[in-house]
Structure 1
């Protein structure tokens, strides 16, 4: 297997992490955070290969903390580690997208329903603040895009928190990073960003009206809009591996026309 050595140290502005300067006991955590962020933001693109040695060299630390970080990332589903062959950033397939959104949809709907009965004015103001973060239409504005997508993730985390169900919030938190990576793939080039933001505003209005049924329905619609944004990006990427699911989805879209 030929493993390309990539520059994993490239970051966007204020997100640079001085891993080598970290206390020894936290170097594995810092390496994990730095690599995870770059994978989520697709700075390390799906399918990209690198070596443990190259990661250690670029981060400026020893191989042992990098090995620990990579093992955690493998458990999280972000990388595939092949002994003596290097590491590969986990690909994103249409099957992955469908599974994540099938899991997300009922959880988000229940969170919205519960939040409608429990959220207060402070919570509504927080959701509004997160929705008001502007979208960075300029693809070169990495910091602006990071702020927008970070606010989107925070919006859904806050909504889950306002539901008042700790287990539900934990379940949604468990897929938040994977969902954010999907959004980094799909949102920058999507013409439907305005739809996503409009649905956030509608959800806030339903929550303010204490209409749990409508809030849940809007959460389902929002999940499906978000899923289509990502599906379109994955289908256009040319990097899809589960061809059978690809064909099935294509046939389904053609049948709807």
Structure 2
């Protein structure tokens, strides 16, 4: 793995997981020492992160981790609803019904596992499998690229909210309904189920951060 890719992946994960909170100054010298690479790969990594909107160049302060306001979250979800509802509808028309039927069963089982206290990281990996299936099945590379561009920002937004077990179980049921509609070849139902899920997810974030607080542990 190239040094710049190593630096990018490490910083990307730290930002998305809120280990680097909004406003954190990312100094090249410190990062090169911490990551065990020279300053040039760090500079390249920071450039990529800035292009993705995860970091921002601040005059006199260098590069800092971008803030996530509730207004930004609302705007992201407006775009996400447009993209994901269409992707779900297209997947219902073009995708492999068997794959989504299996995902529907997986999400149903995940809901039971979450109720029993299983790892939330396992659930997020399953959600990633759904993203990959939608990307593969929607048949529109421009739509896929748009979704991939906003997913790191959405991952940060999602982690602004506290992980309530009840909400995660409800999310599993909502994802299961989306997959069931796609597997049944019902594009309008799939789009509607996606819209319901995203509206519920956004409301959960807004309810969890009524005073525009920072992310987990902040």
Give the structure-2-normalised TM-score.
Answer: 0.84
Choose the corresponding residue for 1:181, options 144, 152, 156.
156
- Which consecutive unaligned segments of at least 5 residues does structure 2 have? none
From 7, 13, 18, the equivalent of 1:42 is: 18
Which blocks of at least 5 consecutive residues in structure 1 are unaligned?
A: 1-21, 241-257
1:74 to 32, 43, 50: 50
Higher relative contact order (CA 8 A, sep 6+): 2
Distance 1:191 1:45 in 2: 26
Q: What CA distance in whole angstroms lies between the structure 1 residues aligned with 2:102 and 2:137?
A: 11
Aligned match of 1:222: 197
Deviations 1:27-59 (A, max 9, x none): 011101110011111111223334222111111
Count of matched residue pairs: 212
Distance 1:145 1:42, change over 3 A: farther
CA distance in 2, matches of 1:137, 1:238: 30
Q: Distance in 2 between matches of 1:231 and 1:200?
A: 20
RMSD: 2.6
1:84 offset after TM fit, Å?
A: 4.8
Note closer, same or farther for the CA distance 1:72–1:135 as it changes in structure 2 (3 Å cut): farther
User: Displaced runs of 4+ in structure 1, greater than 4 A?
Assistant: 132-138
CA contact (8 A) 2:56 2:65 kept: yes
Contact 2:115 2:165 in 1 (8 A): no
**Distance change (3 Å), C-alpha of 1:152 and 1:58:** same
**Partner Cα separation in structure 1 for residue 106 and residue 41 of structure 2:** 35
Residue 119 of structure 1 aligns with which residue? Answer: 95
- Please say if residues 81 and 88 of structure 1, whose CA atoms lie closer than 8 Å, have aligned partners that are also in contact: yes
Q: Indicate if the aligned counterparts of 2:25 and 2:61 stay in contact, CA closer than 8 A.
A: no
How do 1:35-114 and structure 2 match up within 5 A? 35-82=11-58, 84-114=60-90
Between 1:82-91 and 1:204-213, the stretch displaced more is 82-91
Aligned position for 2:184: 209
- Structure with higher Rg: it is 1
| Superposition deviation, residue 236 in structure 1 | 5.2
**TM-score, length-normalised on structure 1?**
0.73
